[in-house]
Amino acid sequence: MNNSGLVLSVFFGVVLSFFSHIAVAQNCIEQASDFKFITKSKQQGLLRFENEHSHQPFNYHAALPFDDYLSYAYQHINKANPRANIPCPVITKTYQQLIAQGKRKLDPTIADIIAPFELTYPNSNKVALLIHGLTDTPFTYHDLAQVYYQQGYTVRTILLPGHGSAASALLNVKISQWQQAIKYAVERSVQDFDEVILAGYSTGAALLIDYVTKQPLSSKVKALMLYSPGSEPHNKQGWMAKWIDAIPFVNWIDKDADVDFAKYESFPLNAATASYDAMSLASIGSLSKRPALKLPIFSVLSDIDTTIDTRATLKLLSALHKGNSIKYKPLDTLVLYGSTDILPTGFTSDYTVSNPQCTTQQCKKIHGISHIAVVNSPQNPHYGVNASYRNCGSFINDEPLYKTCKTTKNPQLGERTSANLKQYPALQRLTYNPHFTELKIQISTFIKNVEHVQGK
């Protein structure tokens, strides 16, 4: 090679090294708003598949300390998640406290943000165990964790198997794996604390309902709290997923960009099957064959949830309430967003129901509370009012609307009902709860009431 060729080679090497560094340095926030990257990732499935790695399953034995589980889960995410080490400066109050407790580093990566955690309240004998939903991660609870912590509770979260890496991890997951993880987390928490509150979001809620009604429950478990609880899928053809999945090379319902670091956007058929199985185990039909649940229940849901059938959820809550003890029935609480016309006849006769109303102009512009919005604060740095991430999965097969949803300066926000999509063609699915401040008070009131009754 002559001198000029050597110079050019060095020059292009430096240039390639520079651009390679830029690509690596790009953080989770920038990726969520980079439409060129979003488009490329959606088309090529850049973030849809796990890293190849040797998978060593955790031995979910209740004798194993929770710290061992947390260490395992963190290491698994780092091995399996293709973006695990990308910088992710999404600093929530919970993350700040985890730093102060020596459990997270100052400059977080995606792995640090989404990994399960234990937020320790000093000298507390109480714990809130929080279970995330299908396609989610423990980041789901970064906002709600603060509510429990402020009530004097240590907060624990777990990572359901098949989560925390990439959507392909759900291609072969089974409900039995989720049940095993929940059994460990509950039993370990009962060993470690005197008072336990169980809380679940969506499929996580269905899994908890199944668990607490299947076997004798420790008296240390004081309450069950459900956020957008999974009862029946809004799509009544969910039972067909496992049969369609059996067709060779037909594995996916949705193939999206997966730039949401905290939640899969692509969705395998097998995930729908496993979720449907979880909801079937928590159905009225299944529960009718088990002893009635004697536990105070707190629930939050939207009247126009397009993921879960709200009417089915209300019937399920009514059945659980009917079998509850006289001691706990007055504590059962429902926070319902939207119209109360959806409530079954007689539901409110001895059930505490709260129906928050919009009082600000910003809230009044929102077209209904979505399934995924209830758990997030408007101040959430990833899902809140000023976040760069936008949920536009309604339009993955319509490129013009997908682009408009992702890039417009004035997005319309709400639940993706057919009526809303007809009126607002590029609707961004709402990812935060405009009533979150009020919800914090409602949760705190419920917990205080439970503690008062349980203390008698």
- Tens of pLDDT, residue by residue over 187-212, are 999 999 999 999 999 999 999 999 99
**Residues in contact with 14: Cβ distance below 8 Å, sequence separation at least 6, in sequence order:** none
Residues of the chain with pLDDT > 70, as a percent, come to: 91
Q: Give the confidence band of 23 by pLDDT, cuts at 50, 70, 90.
A: very low
Q: Are 132 and 106 in contact (CB under 8 A)?
A: no
Distance, in Å, from the CA atom of 130 to the CA atom of 226, rounded to the nearest integer, reads 10
- Other CB atoms closer than 10 Å to residue 320's CB: what's the count? 22
What average pLDDT does this structure show over 3-28?
Answer: 48
Distance, in Å, from the CA atom of 172 to the CA atom of 163, rounded to the nearest integer, reads 12
Distance, in Å, from the CA atom of 376 to the CA atom of 93, rounded to the nearest integer, reads 13
Distance, in Å, from the CA atom of 31 to the CA atom of 261, rounded to the nearest integer, reads 9
Distance, in Å, from the CA atom of 330 to the CA atom of 364, rounded to the nearest integer, reads 32
DSSP strand pairing (352-354 vs 333-337): parallel
Please, is 200 exposed, middle or buried when counting C-beta atoms within 10 Å of its C-beta (0-12, 13-18, 19+)? buried
Residue 3 has pLDDT above 70, yes or no: no
Token pair 């126009």 in the structure block, residue = 304
Q: Give the confidence band of 15 by pLDDT, cuts at 50, 70, 90.
A: very low
What average pLDDT does this structure show over 366-378?
Answer: 98
What average pLDDT does this structure show over 249-277?
Answer: 92
Token pair 């129906």 in the structure block, residue = 355
Write down the H helix ranges in 392-435.
399-407, 418-423
Q: What pLDDT was estimated at residue 19? A: 38
Q: Give the confidence band of 346 by pLDDT, cuts at 50, 70, 90.
A: confident
Residue 339 has pLDDT above 60, yes or no: yes
Q: Give the confidence band of 12 by pLDDT, cuts at 50, 70, 90.
A: very low
For 253, the enclosing helix (H) or strand (E) is strand 252-254
**Token pair recorded at residue 239:** 């039972």
Chain centre distance of CA 65: 24
Q: What pLDDT was estimated at residue 240? A: 53
Q: Are 421 and 427 in contact (CB under 8 A)?
A: yes
**Token pair recorded at residue 185:** 């987390």
**Residues in contact with 192: Cβ distance below 8 Å, sequence separation at least 6, in sequence order:** 66, 127
Residue 134 has pLDDT above 80, yes or no: yes
Q: What pLDDT was estimated at residue 39? A: 96
For 25, the enclosing helix (H) or strand (E) is helix 3-25
Using the CB atoms, write b or e for 321-331: b if 16+ within 10 Å: beebeeebbeb
Residues of the chain with pLDDT > 90, as a percent, come to: 86
Distance, in Å, from the CA atom of 208 to the CA atom of 182, rounded to the nearest integer, reads 8
Q: Give the confidence band of 55 by pLDDT, cuts at 50, 70, 90.
A: confident
Distance, in Å, from the CA atom of 104 to the CA atom of 2, rounded to the nearest integer, reads 52
**Token pair recorded at residue 393:** 């999965």
Q: Give the confidence band of 247 by pLDDT, cuts at 50, 70, 90.
A: low
First to last CA, the chain: 88
What average pLDDT does this structure show over 115-131?
Answer: 98
Q: What pLDDT was estimated at residue 7? A: 44
Q: What is the mean pLDDT of the chain?
A: 91
Q: pLDDT digits over 410-432, tens only?
A: 999 999 999 999 999 999 999 99
3-state secondary structure at position 102: coil
